[in-house]
Amino acid sequence: MTEIVLMSDPRVAAVPVAESGEGLVDVRRGGSLLVDARKQDPADAFAYLRSGVHERLLKAQALLPDGVRLLFVEGYRPPALQREYFEEYAGQLRAAHPGWSAERIHSAASRYVSPPDIAPHSAGAAVDLTLADADGRELDLGTRMNADPEESDGACYTHAANIGEEARANRERLGAVLTAAGLVNYPTEWCSRSSSCVQE
C-alpha cells in the first residue's frame, strides 16, 4: 500500500491555490444527479459545487452501467460548518485519547475531516457521494456513508481489506468512473472526492 498523505500534512498546505473563477452550481437543477437529503443545512449550501466538479460528476455518471447511479450527498460546506465538523471529531478523539498531543489530535482528525484552513469542501471543490441502484437505494460499499476510522475499524479507508467482495467491487466501480472523469479520492474515505485540478 502506498503512503497516505493526510490533509493535515504540511505538504498539502504548501500547494499554491488560486481562485479559478468557476461559479458554484446547484446540482439539483436539471435532475441529472440523484441528490440525497441527509446533509441538508439551513443555507441549503450542501447541493452546490464548482461548475467543473459538477461537469466531472456528470461525466462519471455517464460511465456507470445501466441501473447504477451516483448518489450525491454533500458538496459545498461553509467554512464555519467545516470548522464545526473538524472540532467535533477532534473533541471525540481528545476524549478517547487524553494523552495525545494537540498535534497528534489534529493529524488524526484530518483522517476523517479536512482541517478548516485547507478544506476543499469550503471551496465547492469536493464532494461526498456513493452509488445507488435505479430506485435510489444505496449499494453496499462496506460501511455506512461517512463512517469514521474508529467506528468502522478502518473499513472506511478506500482500500480497506476488511470489507466484502460486493463492497470492494462497488468501490472499484466508483473509483474507476470518478478517476476517469478527473476526480481524486481522499484515501481515508471511500466516499470523498475532490477536483484533481486544485490550481485551475
Q: Are 128 and 145 in contact (CB under 8 A)?
A: yes
Q: Between β-strands 68-74 and 126-133, what pairing exists: parallel, antiparallel or unpaired? A: antiparallel
Q: For the CA atoms of 90, 84, 71, 148, what is the dihedral angle to 10 degrees?
A: 10
Give me the percent of the chain exceeding a pLDDT of 90. Answer: 67
The band of 198, judged by pLDDT with boundaries at 50, 70 and 90, is: very low
pLDDT in tens, 32-83: 999 997 777 777 899 999 999 999 999 999 999 999 999 999 999 999 999 9
**C-alpha distances in Å from residue 43, one per residue of 40, 50, 170:** 8, 17, 32
Give me the percent of the chain exceeding a pLDDT of 70. Answer: 94
In this model, does residue 195 exceed pLDDT 90? no
Return the bridge partners of 34, or none: 71
Other Cβ atoms within 10 Å of 26 Cβ, number = 15
Return the bridge partners of 130, or none: 71
Exposed/middle/buried for 59, CB within 10 Å: 0-12, 13-18, 19+? middle
Q: Could you identify the residue written with the cell 458554484?
A: 24
User: Which value, in Å, is the radius of gyration of the alpha carbons in the chain?
Assistant: 16
Q: Is 138 helix (H, G, I), strand (E, B) or coil?
A: strand
**C-alpha distances in Å from residue 187, one per residue of 26, 34, 53, 66, 73:** 26, 24, 18, 27, 18
Between 32 and 14, where is the model more confident? Answer: 32
